[in-house]
Amino acid sequence: MNERILPSPVLQTFFVSRETSNCPLISEMIKLGQRLEELGLADKETGIVSLDYGKRLLINAKNIDVKKMKQHDVVEIVDYDPLKNIMMVIGTKDPCLETPVHWIIQKARQDINALLQINSTILFEKLKEILPTTEKETQPATLDRAKEILKTLRTGKTILIKNEGIVCAGINIKEIQETLLKYLGVQK
């Protein structure tokens, strides 16, 4: 008997409010984005910053350059159901594609409250001999990607997504900044 593989349900986003989130932690995310600009990340190197607080998640919106992010470019995820693929959001824009992956990782690990994902094959090539890498290539925004990243995060809080880029995880934004500086070879 052949196993049927059902397609994942399309992400359904419901806006609880179309107002800009006023969470005071957004300023930390903006500062991290500005730091990436200072470190000279190329324009084509895209990033995703997320910060878990309580039962919610802050994450940059879809198609936002995190290096130039403003408060209205951050959305607040009130709740997410990975089985039904339904998300409740506060914000003026749609959340980025990888939001489900960031939600699952941060809810699964008590020691991870902040994530920075930089999609850069340049960084991947530079760091592939130094950092642990996910075994399989996975599609963005999938449960498989979340599981693969979680599996690799067992070896450390900074890992590479195979042929895509780097993920820095930490208890807070400060820990991510320190890790990023360490691996990009920049002194404070």
Show me where the domains of the chain are located: 12-183
Give the rounded distance of the alpha carbon of 184 from its chain centre. Answer: 18
Count each helix (H run) and each strand (E run) in the chain, helices first: 5, 8
* Closest to 76 measured CA to CA, from 137, 15, 121: 15
Residue the block writes with tokens 């992010």: 69
Q: Is the pTM of this model over 0.85?
A: yes
| Mean pLDDT in residue range 167-185 | 91
- Residue 41 to residue 18: CA distance in whole angstroms: 31
Given a cut of 90, whether residue 11 has pLDDT beyond it is no
DSSP 92-137: SSPBPTTHHHHHHHHHH-TT--EEEEEE-HHHHHHHTTTS-B-SS-
Give the pLDDT score at 1: 44
For position 187, what pLDDT does the model report? 41
Helices (H), the chain: 26-38, 99-108, 121-127, 143-153, 173-183
Cα distance between residue 156 and residue 169, in whole Å: 9
The helix/strand/coil state of 166 is strand
Q: What is the pLDDT of residues 33-83, one digit of tens each?
A: 999 988 888 777 889 999 999 999 999 999 999 999 999 999 999 999 998
Q: How confident is the model at residue 130 (pLDDT cuts 50, 70, 90)?
A: very high
Q: In whole angstroms, what is the distance from residue 60 CA to residue 72 CA? A: 9
Q: Average pLDDT over the chain, rounded to whole?
A: 91
C-beta of residue 54 within 8 angstroms of C-beta of residue 70 = no
Span 12-183: which CATH code? 3.40.225.10
Q: How many other CB atoms are found less than 10 A from the CB of residue 152?
A: 19
